[in-house]
A and B are shown apart, each in its own frame.
Chain A
Amino acid sequence: MRKRNSYQCSNFSATNLTRRQWLQLGGLGLLGLNARTMLQAQSASPIATVPKAKSVVFLFQWGGPSQIDMFDMKPDAPSGIRSPLSMISSNVPGMPICENLNRMAPLMDKVCLIRSLHHDMVNHNSAGYYALTGHRPPVDDIRLKDTLELYPGYGPVVDALAPNRHPMPTAVSFPYVISDGSATPGQHASFLGKKHDPFLITENPASSHFRLPELSLPESIGFDRLMSRRELQKYIDASSRALDRSAMVSGMDEYYDKALAMLHSENVRKAFDIQSEPQAIREEYGLTPYGQSCLLARRLVEAGSKFITVYFSPSIGGRSRTDGGWDTHGFSDTRMYEIVNEYHLPLTNQVLPAFLTDLDRRGLLEETLVVWMGEFGRTPRINSNISRDHWPHCYTALLAGAGVKSGFVYGASDNHAAYPAENPVTPDDLAATLFHLLGIDPHTHVMGVNNRPLPISNGSVISGILA
């Protein structure tokens, strides 16, 4: 059932409408109701449950961090497979972690590990798309084409089905657009329409010049002058007021109002004003783009954004000790452990505990779900460069906060962290779980290109991790 070869309509078999319902839909077309309106009616109220999580922060570890060197270590595996790094115990028995993540040791009682996440996409862009959308891409393609036939990212789905009623944007992504040769699909609203694209920030929150172009007016234009411009605009529009009966035209007006509200909103401005954060807290997170992005994520959670995606790096990286993602193959005569020990693990060891601690002490962890995961893990066998290659067949996702068990491990890998040994989980299931925790029915249908009804998730909620 999971395996789907079809390119064009991979979700038809998974639609949960019966044949009879389809026939009814077709027949109603003659009465002026088409499938689109019917399905919209069906999903008019996608909020099926009381949301356990007010917000989700998705910390996307681009490049693919290693399961076997971090949260699923196998010290008894033979050399060549087991990590050269040592394992230490944490504050939860059965949840040992890598020595280089020692600051996580006192926090593992806040965390839920899924050690049996798996899929079959070995290329970054296809796997990345899968991780960002919860939908298996039609092909495993190193340069997967970013077409409107592919699914939207999580944030846009949330924006379409459960949008905020206040000026804070529902879905926000930063501080990069990620790519591997070509832009990774799954970062925008795709067929849901550009109006559901996440609010994208590509400025560096660690920079002293950090400001959002959208929320910054030129010096000569204060908010008052902008408002008088808006008055003039309304004056002209008054002569074409009859146009407002068109939903599209009045929609544009709403966007102006929202844009000006955002520009004027103290709450919005404050949320993005990371410079106002006490220096001590900024330093807890570390003055790196990733650290400050996580801090910004916390500020946006406080201000009411619902789905916040933080990208670890813009590229898959793997050869640098100072930037880039987790893709440590040992190419160009580099060595994985020299790189991750110096860059990725220390950075993670600072930022992730700081973020969880900060959320927790503000009481935000109870209503915020944090998801930390990459597009895949890394090969159990250490390669000839003393490094590890891509491994989607079994890897770890770390969750913490609202609605999930804490100090808990779900699923298990085999002796080499190579394949799931129990309770296998796919990105589809994780997607269903995220939507469920946000109070959105994972079986809700949305309309794809050519009016095809598509479920927002084909997975099953992982009930074993629900608190």
Chain B
Amino acid sequence: METDRFSSFWAMKWADLLKIEERSLDRKGVMAFHQWLKVCLANDTPLDEMARQIIASSGSTYQVPATNFYRANRSPAERSVAIAQVFLGTRLQCAECHNHPFDRWSQNDYYSWAAAFASVDYRILENRRRDSNDQHEFVGEQIVFDNPGLSVLHPVTRKPAAPAVLGNTTPLPDDQGRRRALAEWLTSPDQSQFAHVQANRIWSHLMGRGLVDPVDDFRSTNPASHPELLNALTRFLVDNHFQLKPLIGAIVDSHAYQRSSMPFEDNQMDDPVNYARVVPRRLTAEQILDSLSMAMQVPIRFNGYAPETQAIEIPGVEAVRSRSRAPSEADQFLKLFGRPARLLTTDEERTCTPTMTQAFQLVNGPLLQRFVAHPENLLQQQLAHHDNSETMIENLFLSLISRRPDPGESNHFNQYFSQASSQREALEDIAWALINSKEMLFRF
């Protein structure tokens, strides 16, 4: 947990939720916001503190990185829906137009909550957007500030909605302190929703499924599968000052986390709800690409980044617009394997479901071919340094799927090797098979 990869990985998860992408934030803003996240996560800044900083943020999008949240969410509706979804695990989208069909939120609740974020305004110091027609593109510094003159009209009454916190009619102060008050309310000890949502999201990232699932859809009609467990996790998170690392440590130490993915007699079916066994998940796009590049010792290039940059370290989505330069093979790979465009504040935008195009990419895609056929890759090093096939094959197994071949596999693959007309080609075939194996692509 003290590694750079740890904070990079969790920063990536948060960046997905916080819409960290270049079109709205510009490159500098993306770097600033992402770096802020990384430092927070490396220092284990309490999550409630992070939330307060984001919600109450004001100032330059370059100097106060958290203001980029507002830079990316430019209307009261977007802001209020995003805050509810990310921090309160509540989906309000339906209530914009009608009382929520599955939940208690009414249209009045929605507009009062949206009004709470109405005052955010922008001083656009410069906008060097390259596409003058694109109202979503901003290049240059902006100042986020409160403009008390702004309001949200209730569509029925046609009057400005009275700002209030979600589910409470007590009016909020309408001065500069409103967002500070909102932040305090959202993270206050008697507002347990925030803690529940954060504990559940951490559990979900580690276990593959939230106790409340989807993680941003808390409501009485979608109860937790194990409410006592969720309460215990929440208590643990609160007792540990909303710090991520202690809770991750506790979950990783648990029997639940360490279960095998192998089914028993009596749980043959997929049963993700009870965590009786680990349900296999495809690795994220970044994980697959980085591990293949590292294992095969073939470098990858992303447009706009230094050669040694790993996928997991990329702060944004598209550093160089695809209009001005075609995405690199590695950029295309990430998109194909489900790296989100980060236009929505939901965990669902990132996908790890296999597709046909992914299969083609792994069967004979250009990047795959480069990993396997590169003249100085892992295979070449094996051929240069070893002369017995058992060692070479064992090293391929260890590099790619972190285990030794069992005796049967060892036999089979060594035989394959000895019968091949070209040693290099035999190793390429074995590497291909390991890269395409389920143990490589799935975690379980």
Contact = CB atoms under 8 A, between A and B. Distances in A.
A24 to B, nearest CB: 12
Nearest to B397: A236
Contacts of A30: 221
A142 B349 CA distance: 23
B353 A8 contact: no
A251 B281 CA distance: 12
Interface stretch (A48-56, A83-91, A254-262, A455-463): A254-262
B403 to A, nearest CB: 9
A383 interface: no
B136 A232 contact: no
B43 interface: no
A214 interface: yes
Given A29-B222, A251-B354, A141 B135 contact: yes
Given A239-B406, A246-B279, A8 B356 contact: no
B134 interface: yes
Contacts of B433: 229-230, 232-233, 235-236
Contact of B429 (A229, A242, A258, A452): A229
B96 A6 contact: yes
A452 B338 CA distance: 21
Interface in B390-420: 401, 406, 409, 412-413, 416
A247 B270 contact: yes
B346 to A, nearest CB: 7
Given A7-B77, A146-B341, A246-B270, A22 B363 contact: no
Contacts of A248: 280-282, 353-354, 442
Interface residues of A, number: 66
Contact of B93 (A9, A22, A146, A147): A9
A370 B197 CA distance: 50
A160 interface: no
Given A236-B437, A239-B406, A218 B217 contact: no
Contact of A9 (B94, B269, B364): B94
A236 B281 contact: no
A12 B94 contact: yes
A181 B134 contact: yes
A449 B98 CA distance: 18
Nearest to A123: B133
A218 B368 CA distance: 12
B97 interface: yes
Given A239-B409, A245-B263, A8 B94 contact: yes
B270 A232 contact: no
Interface string B414-444: 0010000000010001101110111101101
A8 B97 contact: yes
Contacts of B360: 214, 259
A422 B338 CA distance: 46
Given A8-B94, A8-B97, A452-B94, A258 B356 contact: yes
Given A247-B270, A248-B280, A242 B355 contact: no
B280 A243 contact: yes
A185 to B, nearest CB: 11
Contacts of B416: 228, 232
A3 interface: no
B178 interface: no
A194 B351 contact: yes
Interface of B: 77, 81, 91, 93-94, 96-98, 101-102, 131, 133-137, 214, 216-217, 221-222, 261-263, 268-270, 279-282, 323, 336, 338, 341, 343-344, 346, 348-349, 351, 353-360, 363-366, 369, 373, 401, 406, 409, 412-413, 416, 425, 429-430, 432-434, 436-439, 441-442, 444
Given A9-B94, A142-B135, A232-B413, 14 more contacts: A6-B96, A8-B93, A8-B97, A13-B98, A148-B349, A181-B134, A182-B134, A193-B355, A218-B373, A225-B425, A229-B429, A230-B433, A232-B430, A240-B439
